[in-house]
Each structure stands twice: as C-alpha cells, then as structure tokens.
Chains A and B, each alone.
Chain A
Amino acid sequence: MFYISMFFQYVAQYMKTRLEYRADLIVEIFSDLLFQAVNLIFILVVFDHTEFLNGWSRDEIIFIYGFFLVPYALFSSFFNIWDFNERYIVKGELDRILTRPIHSLFQIILERMELESLFGAMTGLAVMFYAGSRLGLDVSWSDPFLFVLFVMGGVLVYAGIFVMIACISFWADARTSIMPMMYNIGNYGRYPVDIYNKAIRFVLTWILPFAFVGVYPAAYFLGRDEWYGYSFLTPVIGLVFFGLSVFIWNEGVKRYRGAGN
C-alpha cells in the first residue's frame, strides 16, 4: 500500500514539473512520434520492393512493430536508467537513495520517470489496429487479457536486461557504453528472428531475449501457431529475467561503498 501511494505522489509531482514547460514537452512528444514514424517508413519503403520477408507479409511486420511499441513505451517511461552509472554512482547520489525507507531500485524508478513516453503506447496500438484490420484478424475474448500479459512480460524482459547492465556499475567503476548498444540490439527483436542466422537467433531468444518483446508474442495474435510455444513463454522469461536482475541489484547494493566526498 505504501508503495502504491508513493507511486501516485511521485506521478503528481512529475505532472506539475512537466506542465511548467509545455513547449518542451510538446517538442519531445513530437520527436518521439517522428522516431516511430521513421521506423515505420523504413518498413513501408522496403516492402515497395519486395512482397514477403522470409514468408512474412508487410502488414504482419507492421503489426509486430506496433506490438513492440507498447512494451517499449512502458519500459522507457519507467526504466529510464541509462545514465545510472554517471548519476548515481559517480556523483554519489545512491547514498541519498539508500537512506530512504523504500527499495532502492523502486526509488530510482520513481525519480527517473518519463511519463510522456507513454504516448508511444497509443501510437503502437493504433499501428497494431491498422495492420490487424488489414490482415482481417479476429479479436477473441481472451486476446485483451493475453495482450496485457504479453506486454507485461515484454516490459519485464527489457527492464531485467537494463537493470542487469546498470548493476555492472556496482562491480566495475569503468565508464561503460554498453547501454546505447543494447538499445540497438533491442530493435532486432522486432523482425522475424528466422531471418537471422542461428547464433543471433539464439542470443535474441535466450541470452538477450529481445525477441520476446516483439516477434514472439506478436506471432500469437497473428495466428502463427508454429511460434505459440515461444509466445506463451513471454511472461515466464520476463519474470525470470526481472527476478534475476532484482537479485543481482540487491547483491550489488550490499557491495556498494559510496563514492565518498
């Protein structure tokens, strides 16, 4: 209960600060939309020149992209920890966090929220419905529930990977630039993984399971039954990776000695 009320108090504060600078907020939402549009234009232009991508049609690829945008938007709203090392370790901000009565990871998530990214979830849904209606997909009663379940799984996969990368800072103080690399790799889970070679597919499924944020769960709604097994693994992989990352985080915090000043 305490955590939930904390969450809403932070959200209220956040809204106040953001609405103070409205113009900047609008430009930021606009540049987010632009970024999503560029990826969509890429798909559209490519399919001007080809009918199928390894057996997947244009609308199916667009559908997967739309699905991907939803967990991705939730992830970027709440797990904005790409500068964890510089902000919290190098500048010693973590000392302040550790004196607070709520879990350190939760506190950081609250502090670094970027709620305007949630807008991306709406464009994602719009893209999905557009592609879905062109494909003539039926919506059954269970689909909304599975959708929420799969989206949650996807968010946890993303969050788990990025929290683990942030944890590297507890052990090695070297400034790493692995974070931007991960953002790139995350994008490859959007495309049907059967176009890559076996090694990359293995990495995207079991080591950095980004395929569970795009193609695997989306395949269920597209009725691709050869992938159903993977689709239903999504929440499991999400829980395993996120659970593991929280465990590593807690171990890391135990080791943390502070930057000292």
Chain B
Amino acid sequence: MDKYIEMIRIRFLMMLAYRTNYYTGILIYSINIGAYYFLWNAIYGEKSEIEGLSAIQMTTYVAVAWMARAFYFNNIDREMATEIKEGKVAVELIRPYSYLGMKTMQGLGEGIFRLFFFSVPGMVIVALIFPMEFSADAMTWALFAISIVLSFLINTQLNLLTGITTFFLYNNTGLIRAKRVLIDLFSGLLLPISFFPGWAQEIMGFLPFQGISYIPSMIFTNGFTGSEAVEGLMLQGAWVLILVVPTQILWVIAKKQLIIQGG
C-alpha cells in the first residue's frame, strides 16, 4: 500500500514543479466558464427555467462540471500509449506493483493536485465575478464528494481501457482524441443530459458516461436531491464495478500478446 501512496505523492510534487501551468490553468477555466455564462444567459433570455434548471443553477452547473473535470481528467491513456510504443512498458511489468494500479494512483495524484490548486481557487474567482448558487447543506457536499470520487474511477477505467488498446492498434492517437470528445458530450459536461431529446437520453442512460459529469454536477446544483441523488451514486458505483471486467480481460490478453520492438 505504501508504494501506491508514494506514487500519489510523487505525481503531486511533479505537478507542483510546473508553476506557470497552473496559473494559466486557472485562467483557462475562468475564461471558459465566463464565456459559457454569457452564452447561457443569452440562451435563457426571458425564460425563468429550462428543464427544471434556472439560469443561475445552469451557470453553477457549468462551473462545477468544469471544476470537477479538473479532478477526474487525466492523460494516463496517452502516457500508457507512449510507454507501450517506446517499449518502456516491459520494464514497468517486471516491477513489483500492478501497472494499472500504479497508473490509477498517478492519475489520482494529478487529480488531487488540480482539485486543490486549480478547482478551489478557480471556483473562488469565478464565484466572485459571476452569480452562482452554492448549497449550504453539508449533506449535498458529502454526496458530491463521494460522487466525484466515483467519477474519477469511471473515467480512469475508460482511460485504462483506451490505453490498453495501444497493444493491439500500435497507433491510437486518433482513438484517444475521439474518446475525449465523446466523453465531453455524453458525460453532460457541455450540456446537462436532461436537455437532450428523449431518444438520445434513453441511449445515454445505457452508457457509463453520465456518471462522469452529469450526476455529480446535478447533485451539486440540487438538481438531484434525496433518493434521486442516492440512485445516481448507486448507478455510478455499478459502472465502476462493471468496467473492471473488460479492463482486466483486455489487460490479460494484451500482456500475452505483447511484442516489444527493440529496447
């Protein structure tokens, strides 16, 4: 266990080394949220609510969705692809830890860093400039905290899956990019899922993506309360468990057919 915690710590310190990256990071997120704020205000126009969300709830939703993304988002799929292509993965495989577990911990180290140095200060800045609505209820915050941890787990499993495909496809930059674009749309980051037409919502209901962004953001904005919030968490938990299966199976197959070129 110690070595995994050490992984989180090392990755956290690595992130700390690139200072300009996080100043500009906060700026990127603030500008992004600012532009969405004006866009959504124009969309709402005179309307007081759309699909049960008021304009203020909507801007809070957008802000929280982007800030939560800083926590669950990571590039471990791209890192895995590079390590596999360069043959470095061979060395990783003989080390005394689980490769996938270690990648997850690195992602977590990155996530924790971004949560405290990025999301929290970013959120303070955004909340000072634009009107937002934060719940005072400790329960909401607790449910939200559980929810974003589950978001992280779902997103990480999907990243591991995409990373593993490098063993079979050799070059998967296109696939990695396609996955990222799909997650942005289907997870509810850009638009709450309740805004989509009924048939699209039904399809998305069968996919794991809504557990990444939609559920935590709805919990935070009080769009989901009580039993709805608990159901959302259970759905997220179920997806975490389901995704373990393909990840492990693909991983076993991948290790068997691993060919290291050179090195």
Contact = CB atoms under 8 A, between A and B. Distances in A.
B21 interface: yes
Given A21-B171, A31-B181, A195 B190 contact: no
Interface residues of A, number: 36
Contacts, number: 91
Interface residues of B, number: 37
Contacts of A185: 31, 35
B34 A50 contact: no
19 contacts: A24-B174, A31-B174, A31-B177, A34-B182, A35-B181, A38-B181, A38-B184, A38-B185, A46-B195, A48-B195, A50-B45, A50-B47, A50-B50, A53-B42, A175-B21, A177-B20, A181-B28, A185-B31, A195-B38
Given A42-B190, A195-B41, A49 B50 contact: yes
Nearest to B174: A27
Nearest to A36: B181
B51 A175 contact: no
Interface in A128-183: 174-178, 180-181
A195 B39 contact: yes
B18 A195 contact: no
Interface of B: 18, 20-21, 24-25, 27-28, 31-32, 34-35, 38-39, 41-45, 47, 50-51, 171-175, 177-178, 181-182, 184-185, 190-191, 195-197
Most chain A CB atoms below 10 A, which of B27, B38, B190: B38
A50 B43 CA distance: 6
A206 interface: no
B174 to A, nearest CB: 3
Contacts of B24: 176-178, 181
A33 to B, nearest CB: 9
Contacts of A184: 28, 31-32, 35
Nearest to B190: A42
Interface string A38-66: 10011001101110111000000000000
B173 A24 contact: yes
A30 B27 CA distance: 31
